Structure 1
Amino acid sequence: MIRYELVEIPKALLLEAANCELKVCTDSTQNPQPGYGYVKDAIGQLKYALYFDGGTERKLQIKHLRKDLCKVHATWAFSLPTA
């Protein structure tokens, strides 16, 4: 069974990244070095983390996103055909 979800991340939640706790991975051999931005709630629980890739493209990933802070619009489940 494969499951998909359409999840909306509220804009206000993304804007909280402006005050995130930044950590550069100084032990990395990549240049430029990768880093994380941690967005936490009032009691210090992680809401989500931003991962800044250390490669030349500097890709951004949202990691460990708490889905309870988002809106799930739809879910789909598909059965895989048996061989």
Structure 2
Amino acid sequence: AAFWFFENFLYIGTYMADARTLALPLVGSGEHDWEILFGQWGVLVHDQQIGGATRSLGWIGMLATVAWLAWMSRRSGPSGRAPSP
């Protein structure tokens, strides 16, 4: 579940980075959520950086999840059970 949680950051970051350009097609009211929020917070000019950082967090989280799963798998050994303390 952690992998998919962090995967969503890729899409959220893309949507955030689109706050000024408004290039993505929107469903619904036509208002861009991140344009409104970033405008209210006074950070609209940083939408690309915020979106990029969010995407980076997504990639880091996904890679960390895979690394953790690999570590847990290796740690459990051939029996498939984690060693007892």
TM-score of the pair, normalised by structure 2: 0.24
Which structure's CA Rg is the greater one? 2
Q: TM-score, normalised by structure 1?
A: 0.24
More strand by share: 1
Tell me which protein shows more helix as a share of its residues.
Answer: 2
